[in-house]
Amino acid sequence: MDINSYKKSNFGAAFFFLSKEQKEALKLVYAFCRYADDVVDDNFENAPKLLKELREDLQKPNKDFFIKLEKVIKDFKIPKQYFFDLIDGVERDLKTPVRFETFKDLEWYIYRVAGVVGLMCIHIFGFKNKQTIEYAKNLANAVQMTNILRDIAEDSKIDRLYLPLEDLKKFQVPQEDILKTNNTYEVKKLLAFERQRTLDFYNQAEKLLPKEDFKNMLGARIMGNIYKAIFEKTAPCIIFEEKIKLSKFKKILIMIKTWSSAQ
């Protein structure tokens, strides 16, 4: 596992203001999460076997990486179930074609591929108020919904459709219009609905963050603000063909602005 994999992602911004111990812990946690996700995306045929091995390494850590990860889990009191939940989540993408009948079904998935990652992080950041757990869950929902909206075209190429089918039916959108990235009037109405749902999660997360954990959650807030900026770049309700990214300069500006708000 590549413990420096965080450097290639938006996740890297969350590391900047952490202590050395927190950084080392987050490196290991992110490497685990990244590996589990990549197993499904990059090694599809062998994924069941590799995910089975991942569960076994978690249960009985005897490799160097997992021994170190076990120490992080104990030192930061991270529930180990979060790691097994994440494996269950990425494993869901092996059921092809990827479809979710209802938003409740999608929430099950989002909690496992994003929610538990946020919960791992807040244990490393350090939180005092249990309400911060709900903050992390709502922020994870917002971030994952942002990923879903941003990556519709990319996911469609491999027959993955994460928008709930109940929503497609509500707005009379055939699956083919999403999979072929047809920006019809109905598709635009559907995306406007999903964007509002996503924005509601961002707003709810902001309301839920307790004052006593405001400074400790600096890393989480930086991540949230970076993804919200990506979300805002998807403002027109259309399916984007190219992946939306932020420049390094823009990320630095967001980091500075978020940090200054905590002083």
Structural domain spans, the chain: 8-261
Hey, how many other C-beta atoms are within 10 angstroms of the C-beta on 152?
A: 23
Classify burial at 229, counting beta carbons within 10 Å of its beta carbon; exposed 0-12, middle 13-18, buried 19 or more: middle
CB atoms under 10 Å from CB of 30, counted, come to: 25
Place of tokens 């559907």: 190
How does pLDDT run along the chain (263 residues), one tens digit per residue? 666 655 566 667 777 788 999 999 999 999 999 999 999 988 888 999 999 999 999 999 999 999 999 999 999 999 999 999 999 999 999 998 999 999 999 999 999 999 999 999 999 999 999 999 999 999 999 999 999 999 999 999 999 999 999 999 999 999 999 999 999 999 999 999 999 999 999 999 999 999 999 999 999 999 999 999 999 998 889 998 888 888 888 988 998 898 887 65
Answer whether the bond into residue 97 is a cis peptide, omega within 30°.
yes
CATH 1.10.600.10, applies to 8-261: yes
pLDDT recorded at residue 11: 66
Structure tokens at 251: 């990320």
pLDDT for res 45? 86
Question: What DSSP letter does each residue of 5-68 carry, written as one string?
Answer: GGGGSGGGGGGTTS-HHHHHHHHHHHHHHHHHHHHHHH-GGGHHHHHHHHHHHHHS--SHHHHH
pLDDT at 38: 93
Per-residue pLDDT, 74: 98
